[in-house]
Amino acid sequence: VRLSRGGALVREGERRRGVFTLTKGALRRIRLLPDGRRLVAGFLMPGDFIGFSGASHYRHSIEAIIDSTVCAFSMSDMRTLCSDHPQLERELLERACVELDATRGNLMSLARLNPMERLAGFLVDMAMRRRRQGQDDSEVILPMTRTDIADYLGLTVETVSRSFTRLRQEGSIATDDRHHVRLLDRARLDALAEARA
Amino acid sequence: VRLSRGGALVREGERRRGVFTLTKGALRRIRLLPDGRRLVAGFLMPGDFIGFSGASHYRHSIEAIIDSTVCAFSMSDMRTLCSDHPQLERELLERACVELDATRGNLMSLARLNPMERLAGFLVDMAMRRRRQGQDDSEVILPMTRTDIADYLGLTVETVSRSFTRLRQEGSIATDDRHHVRLLDRARLDALAEARA
DNA sequence: CGTGCGATTGAGTGAGATCAAGCCCAGTGG
DNA sequence: CCACTGGGCTTGATCTCACTCAATCGCACG
C-alpha cells in the first residue's frame, strides 16, 4: 500500500482491520481531543510493526509524515501465519515487549523531564534507531515538523524551537537545515536524556 | 513469595531473573533519577502479570504498596511452560498488547491533560479495574499514597491534594477516608477523563 | 506522650504556555 | 523572471497554572 504525505493509514475509532509493517517512509501515531489538543503517541520508521493492540477499534490515527509504503496483512492472514509459524508469535511478543519498554520510557520523559531533557532524549532515541538500521548515528534526520515533535514531547512548538536553539547555542547539536541535526556532544546529550531508554 | 509493605520485588538495574504474577496486595512500578525525581510507571493489582520486557536488566523497581504475595517463575520455567503450551504465548501477547494500550493511554494524560483531568482519568481507570474483577465500581480503593499518585500522574503531592479537594467540592467524588473514594458523578468524571482508557 | 509521616491548605514564584510579530523558503501564478 | 501567498519556524513579551516553600493537622506507632 502506498501512502502520500499527510494521508491516513488508519483512523482513530475505526474498526480494527489488520496489521501492517512500514517498509519505506515515516508515519506518526496520533490522538486528538475534541477541543483540539493533540498527542503524537509515537513515530514509526521503516521496519516497524504496526498493530499491537488488544482493542477492537483503533485507538490512534496513523498518518504519513512523508510519502510511505506499508505492507498490509488482514487479521485472518495474521492468524493463519501465526498458526503456520509458531516462531512468529514469539517474535511478535518480543517486539511488543520492546515497544512496551520504549513507551514506558516516554512516560518518564513526559512526567518529569524539562523541555531540554525531553528534546535531548528524543534526539538520542532517533540516533539509536538509525544505528540499529546500520546507519551513521552522529546525524539524525527528522522528517516530522516541529509541531509533531512538540505534540510528541508534550510541549508547544515555541518551547521546542527554543530548546533546539539552546542546544545549538551550547554546542550540543548543529542544525544544517530543519530536518538534519548533527549530534556534536553526545556525552552531554546522553546526560540530559539519562532517564530514557 | 511474600512481600511486606515497602519491600522490593525487583530493583531497577538488576539482571532480569524471571517473571511474576501478583496474587494478593498491590505493587508499584518505580523509576528514580539521580536527582531524586521519581516516576511511578504503573500500579499492579491482583491478577496482573509482571515481566513484559525486551531488556536484559530491569528498567524499574517493583515495590509493595501493601503486604503482597506474588507467584514467581524463573526464565527457564517460563521457556518450558511456553513450549509445552503454545496457547500461553498467544495469551501473553494478548496481555502485552492490552498493557501497551493502557500505557499509551497514559501518554495522553501526561502530555496534554490538566491535573483534574488526570486525576479523574486515574479514578475512572481504577474503577474499571475493579469492575473487571467483578467488584463494585462506584467505589475505589487506593492503597497507594498521594505521593505515589502524584508521581504516577506527573504532578506534585500538593497539586494532587488540591485536585481531590476540587473534585470533592464540585460533588464528583466523596472521600470517606484517604484510601476510599466514592465516585458520585460518573458522567462528569468520564467527561473529564475522556482522552484516556 | 512525643515523634514522624502523610495529607491538606495558603502564599509566592517561575517555567512553560499563550499571544504576537517577523523570517525563510517553496510553490503558484502573472 | 518576479511578486505574491502560505505554512513552518523562530524570537520576543506577557501571563498563568502548577510548582515551591511553609505551616498545620491528624493519625499511627513506639
Q: What is the pLDDT of residues A131-153, one digit of tens each?
A: 999 999 999 999 999 999 999 99
Whether residue B100 and residue A33 make contact (CB cut-off 8 A), yes or no, is no
Across the range B133-141, mean pLDDT stands at 94
> What pLDDT score was predicted for residue B78?
87
Q: What is the pLDDT of residues B77-127, one digit of tens each?
A: 888 988 888 788 888 999 999 999 999 999 999 999 999 999 999 999 999
Pairing outcome for strands A173-177 and B2-3: unpaired
* Of A160 and B195, more confident: A160
Whether residue B90 and residue A90 make contact (CB cut-off 8 A), yes or no, is no
Q: Residue B197 pLDDT more than 80? A: no
Across the range B159-167, mean pLDDT stands at 98
Across the range B55-80, mean pLDDT stands at 94
> What pLDDT score was predicted for residue B114?
97
Q: Which residues of chain A have pLDDT under 70?
A: 195-197
Closest CA–CA distance from residue B12 to any residue of chain A (Å) = 12
Q: Measure B46 CA to D10 C1' (Å).
A: 51
* Sequence-ordered alpha helix ranges (H) in A8-114: 75-84, 86-112
* CA angle, B187 then B65 then B142, to 5°: 20
Nucleotides, chain C, CB distance < 7 Å: 6-11, 15-20
> What pLDDT score was predicted for residue A99?
95
Distance CA A177, CA A139 (A): 12
Distance CA B183, CA B187 (A): 10
| Residue B114 to residues A47, A94, B159, B181, B182, Cα–Cα distance (Å) | 35, 34, 10, 20, 21
| Residue A73 to residues A1, A19, A81, A111, A172, Cα–Cα distance (Å) | 11, 5, 10, 35, 42
> What pLDDT score was predicted for residue A195?
65
Q: Which residue is nearest to nucleotide C16 (CA to C1')?
A: A159
Residues 6+ apart with CB under 8 A from B35: none
Pairing outcome for strands B8-10 and B2-3: unpaired
Residue of chain A whose Cα is closest to the Cα of B39:
A108
The confidence band for B42, taking pLDDT boundaries of 50, 70 and 90, is very high
> What pLDDT score was predicted for residue A191?
95
Whether residue A107 and residue B110 make contact (CB cut-off 8 A), yes or no, is yes
Whether residue B93 and residue A93 make contact (CB cut-off 8 A), yes or no, is yes
Percent of chain B with pLDDT over 90: 87
> What pLDDT score was predicted for residue A171?
96
Q: Measure A115 CA to C14 C1' (Å).
A: 15
